[in-house]
Each structure stands twice: as C-alpha cells, then as structure tokens.
C-alpha cells in the first residue's frame, strides 16, 4: 500500500471513493483511491507517485462514455484542468488551445457565441474536451477530427510532453490511436482546434432542416446548435435524470455487397453511403430485432431511441453489459451484422 509519507501538497487522495456521480450511467462502484487533478503540476506529480506505480490507474474525463462493471482496485484520476487560449487568428480561421478538463458542451456554446464554426453540430454531447479525440466524437454529419489541429500529451513512460498532429492521432470512425496502440500510454493535456470564421453550415443530416422549419428560423450557427439540442433532448434521455451513456453501439459498416443483400430482405433498412461501404443505422437494427423498450433486470433499451441503453434505477454495470450482449446476439442472429460497443468497459 502506498505510504501517505509521499502525500501531495497540491491534492488530496481519497480512499474507497464512490464513482456514482462521476459516470453518466450512475453505476454505484468505488475506486480504491481517487484524485482530482487541477493543474499540470498535479498531473506530473501523481504520475511519479507510488499510487500509479503500484496500482492500476484510470483516467476519467466527463464519465460519459464508460461502463463500470465492478469496483476499481486502483486509483482513478479525474482530469479537471481548465483554460481556453486563442493562439492565432488569420483571415479565415481562429486557432484555440483548450485544456482537457474543460466541459465539452460549454466549449461548443462558447464557440457558437463567438461565431466560430466547425463543432456546432456536436452540441449537447456530454463529456470533457480531453476525451473528444479519444472517441473522435461525432454527430449530425460532423466528426471532431475535422477541427482538431493537434493534441498535447504527456508520455506516461518518461514524463515528456509532446504534441501529436491530426494525422498522428490516426482518427477513424469513433476511434483514434488513443483507443488502440496508444491506450494508457498518454495523458491528453490539451486539444488545439482550428475553427472557421466564415461558417460552413451542415444541415443535410438527420432532422436538422425539419427542426429549423418548425422553429421558423434560417440556418445559422446558433440556430443549428439550438435545433440539434432540441432534437437530442427529444430523442435522448437526460443523464441527470436517467442513467445512460448516449449511443451505446457504433453504427456498423458493411460492404456494398452485404448492404445489397440486406436490402433485398429488408427494403426499409436505414443506411448511409460511407466511402466504399455502407453505414447501417444501429438503432434501426436493434428496433427491428425486437429490443426497443425492452428490459433486462434494471437495465433497458430506451423506448424512444434503441441505440441508447439506460439504467432504470439501481442497475449494475453487469446488468447493462448483459443487456448489451443480448442485443448484439439478436442483431447478429437476424441480420448477420455484428454491433460493436462504443462505450469503454471497466
């Protein structure tokens, strides 16, 4: 057990700390140790401590894309660094460096308010700025990789701070190097964005135009952002009220041949062209397999959006995982398509 002789001047290490309020599923698990890191100095110091050297560690951002299935027998580190800095401005773009602990929703609102374009379609996605590159978050025709210039990271092995450009991050569909070969090798300290001063509006995806018509408003950064918020609030449960992590599964990619095969049997199947493949609507697959609105213990598939799994109250992570596996099995059995979980399991 780490000695409290190496206790830190900057932070307090808490023992047997409940993570219920720090994950959007509201799963009641405990961390053996927990620390909230509010500065680069604290991050550097904790990474050199016996807590990290002797125990497993977990970096926690907004807790919005994680499913705890058991207590964490190590130290959970919540990155809470704050700050936004304009690093450069030219005729067409503004460049910002944003600390990892900044709230993502608030950052989107900040950019919209300043008429900086690029991430307005990513409104109302819960989480922190530092976790957005990990998942390459996306919604309504936009992925965050399109606006990320570079990511500042601390190498856990040697403590060195470097910057990774967009290409080095190896972004993919809800994926990046930070989820693959670089997993647990870096701490993301900040993300640098390149945002357009002359807005390029993306309104073709989903129900954006229909929502704008209902609002009787012309497309603009603020109106698009508000339209997307309205749509998300109608379709998705509020994590503050009903535990969930948003979209639980990725929309599966299939070949053109597989799509055409499915189209013959299911003429109303929802799909979108994606380069040389087709992206199937996972929510549609789940609904047609009979799981929309169904429960397994205290876990359930949301009655409005089948892509979302919810905690009805008192659910364990294992219950939600069992439900997810049952949904995967049903979709595979009916369509021959594998659903991949978008959330991270712990």
Supply the residues annotated as catalytic.
174, 247, 342
Contacts of 27 (CB under 8 A, 6+ apart): 19, 20, 67, 68, 69, 243, 311, 315, 316, 317, 320
Backbone angles phi, psi at 122, to 5 degrees: -100, 25
Structure tokens given for 339: 């659903």
Euclidean distance between CA atoms 151 and 166, whole angstroms? 8
Residues 6+ apart with CB under 8 A from 204: 141
Q: Other CB atoms closer than 10 Å to residue 211's CB: what's the count? A: 20
CA–CA dist 160, 323 (Å, integer): 42
Q: Is there a contact between 256 and 276 (Cβ–Cβ < 8 Å)?
A: yes
Tell me how far the alpha carbon of residue 185 is from its chain's centroid.
19
115 backbone φψ class: left, alpha, beta (φ>0; ψ -120 to 50) = left
Q: Give start and end residues of each alpha helix (H) in 94-151.
A: 104-113, 132-135
What is the sign of the dihedral through the CA atoms of 179, 182, 184 and 187?
Answer: negative
CB 344 within 8 A of CB 65: yes
Three-state DSSP at 155 gives strand
238-277 per-residue burial string, b: 16 or more CB within 10 A, e: under 16: ebeebbbbbbbbbbbbbeeebbeebeeeeeebebeeeeeb
């Amino acid at each position: 057990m780490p000695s409290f002789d190496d206790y830190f001047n900057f932070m307090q290490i808490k023992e047997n700390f409940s993570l219920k309020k720090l994950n959007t599923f509201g799963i009641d698990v405990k961390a053996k140790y927990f620390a909230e890191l509010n500065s680069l100095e604290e991050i550097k110091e904790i990474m050199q401590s016996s807590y990290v050297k002797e125990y497993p560690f977990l970096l926690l951002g907004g807790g919005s894309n994680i499913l705890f299935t058991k207590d964490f027998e190590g130290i959970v580190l919540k990155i809470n660094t704050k700050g936004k800095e304009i690093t450069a401005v030219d005729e067409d773009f503004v460049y910002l460096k944003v600390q990892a602990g900044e709230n993502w929703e608030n950052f989107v609102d900040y950019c919209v308010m300043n008429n900086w374009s690029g991430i307005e379609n990513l409104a109302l996605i819960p989480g922190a700025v530092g976790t957005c590159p990990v998942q390459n978050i996306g919604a309504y025709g936009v992925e965050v990789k399109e606006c990320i210039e570079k990511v500042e990271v601390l190498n856990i092995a040697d403590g060195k701070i470097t910057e990774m450009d967009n290409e080095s991050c190896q972004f993919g569909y809800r994926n990046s190097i930070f989820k693959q070969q670089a997993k647990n090798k870096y701490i993301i300290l900040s993300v640098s964005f390149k945002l357009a001063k002359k807005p390029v509006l993306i309104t073709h995806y989903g129900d954006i135009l229909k929502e704008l018509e209902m609002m009787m408003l012309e497309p603009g950064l603020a109106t698009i952002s508000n339209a997307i918020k309205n749509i998300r609030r109608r379709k998705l449960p509020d994590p503050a009220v009903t535990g969930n992590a948003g979209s639980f599964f990725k929309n599966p990619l299939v070949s053109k041949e597989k799509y055409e095969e499915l189209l013959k049997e299911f003429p109303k199947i929802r799909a979108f062209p994606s380069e040389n493949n087709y992206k199937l609507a996972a929510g549609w697959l789940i609904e047609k397999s009979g799981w929309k609105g169904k429960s397994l213990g205290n876990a359930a598939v949301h009655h409005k959006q089948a892509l979302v799994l919810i905690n009805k109250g008192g659910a364990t992570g294992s219950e939600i995982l069992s439900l997810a596996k049952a949904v995967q099995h049903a979709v595979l059995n009916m369509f021959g398509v594998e659903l991949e979980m978008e959330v991270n399991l712990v």
